[in-house]
Structure 1
Amino acid sequence: MQLKKIITALSLAIILVLAGCGAQTTSEKTAQKPEYIATDATGAKMELSAKPKKIVSLIPSNTEILYRLGLGKNVVGVTSSDDYPVAVKKVSVVATTEINVEKIIGMKPDLVLGHASMMSYNKDAYDQIKKANIPLFVVEDAQDFDAVYKTFTQIGDLTGTTKEAEKLVSSMQATDKSIRKEAAKKVETKAKVWLEISPDLYTAGQDTFINEMLTNIQATNIVSEKGYPQYSEEQVIQAAPDVIITIYPNAKQEIAKRSAWKNIPAVKNNRIYEIDPSIVSRPGPRLIEGQEALFEAIYPK
């Protein structure tokens, strides 16, 4: 009888040990299961098992998104073009015209955010970063608000800030809706707009953020081509824009030198406005500010 009790006790002990081992294994598997998942612009699926603590951003728009999601303290590397928010100026620069791959590898970041628009220039650098077993996520080259919102969500999913990303999207959508509603009430005749990116007459056409913004505020872009074409003076003169928007310094002085433009309505009526390029061209959280700025310039209160 005593032997039977001992055998029973030993059996129970073994069962408990095995159960404990099983529980530990399950726990370990759960801990190792990727929780931060997104598919990038190249179709590659990224799975991170832990929230990234050290992040490198290789384009200003990504940096602005990270800071808006409350991840500024985690950003350890940026480009020389990063200028917003102000705190970013204290972050180590890892890319100018070229990416300093060695510096990035030396930082041992948990995540590097690249961008599809830079793929053709930086493919070798991106490949080297990947070969060093550093997670590199290529963000889509978004050209409309919906694609930008998707970017916010993806970066939020990868960094454990999904809720913050959702709040950001909701906030921008609400502001966008408000601006559209006001524009629909206020605008009786749509203004024709010429947007000048540079003195050599590069502009923004269809399928761009700027065109979407102009459409949202009941304005008409005089450019019918897609993307960022170069126009001639004759094309602009013939289109006779009511408003000229510029996104480079001293544009008014530059335009004043063009004697052939003196009869364009926008020039005759002194309706030439300069807007910060970063808020209308970077696919980041300040795009909605760009839309507001365009609305206020084209349809002043």
Structure 2
Amino acid sequence: MSEQRAVILGAAGFIGSHLTDRFLAEGWRVTGVDNLITGTLRNLEHLGREPRFDFLQADVCAPLAISGRVDAVLDFASPASPVDYLRHPFETLHVGSVGVENALELARRSGAPFVLSSTSEVYGDPLEHPQRESYWGNVNPVGPRAVYDEAKRFAEAITVAYRRYREVQVRIARIFNTYGPRMRLDDGRVVPTFVAQALRGEPITVFGDGSQTRSFCYVDDNVEAIWRLLHGDCQDPVNVGDDHEMTVLEFAQAVQRLVGRTVPIEHRPLPQDDPRVRRPDLTRARERLGWAPRIGFEEGMRRTIDWFRAHV
């Protein structure tokens, strides 16, 4: 069998760069595409002499000029943190609509399966807990987070439309909080923010009273789920995350302990529409993918903190 080729959109981003590594390790060729609005070439610099990897700096909101064999299209091109999508609201809306349609068209022309990186944010501030894929969500369509939440909900809708009406094989990963090496220090999400603050000896900033909950999935587990999703037959949305839940305050205290520095915790006003709870129901992932997270919180955080120590 000849060498397979994946097109990974958002390849210079956090998860996209780890996916690139996985596909190369599995013997695939990879064409990475990124406009570098939030991604960085530092995430790919270790591939500078890899002959099976090529990089195209391009905006996926323009038609994708990619020729030749394509065996999989994986769309991970979108700002993903509140800091980024509030800074780039229109780009976020465009990449979740026009960009996803362009990616789907590439998959359709190539006869390749398509993987969409969706998000737990499609559930909004959920009234169901834990969140199952059958839950329709509780999303404010005119709030500040809507540019991201609704872009991803539209992305799912057009992806399913391509499955129903244009016979594209699609996969939808609803990704919950994922962390690990290569996260940007300034992306505003809780893991890099808390770890960087603790390493610098600064106060850890907790929004609200810290009773809101999150669950954290290490990036290697996330990539394994995406790999299995691509190679499986499940075309319904699948939650990808870790179902070990903790409060944000408990997470801040864990960061203090793992970094080995007891810094103050400062409470700040809770942002509008910030989800109060967040934990995936992983039944579908376990049954359809044979997948569950394997890397425990302590091990994953130690790996992540070690990486941040080298960059703070």
TM-score by length of 2: 0.28
Q: Kindly name which structure, 1 or 2, has the bigger radius of gyration based on alpha carbons.
A: 1
TM-score by length of 1: 0.29
Question: Which protein, 1 or 2, shows the higher relative CO under an 8 Å CA cutoff with sep ≥ 6?
Answer: 2
Question: As a proportion of its length, which structure holds more helix?
Answer: 1
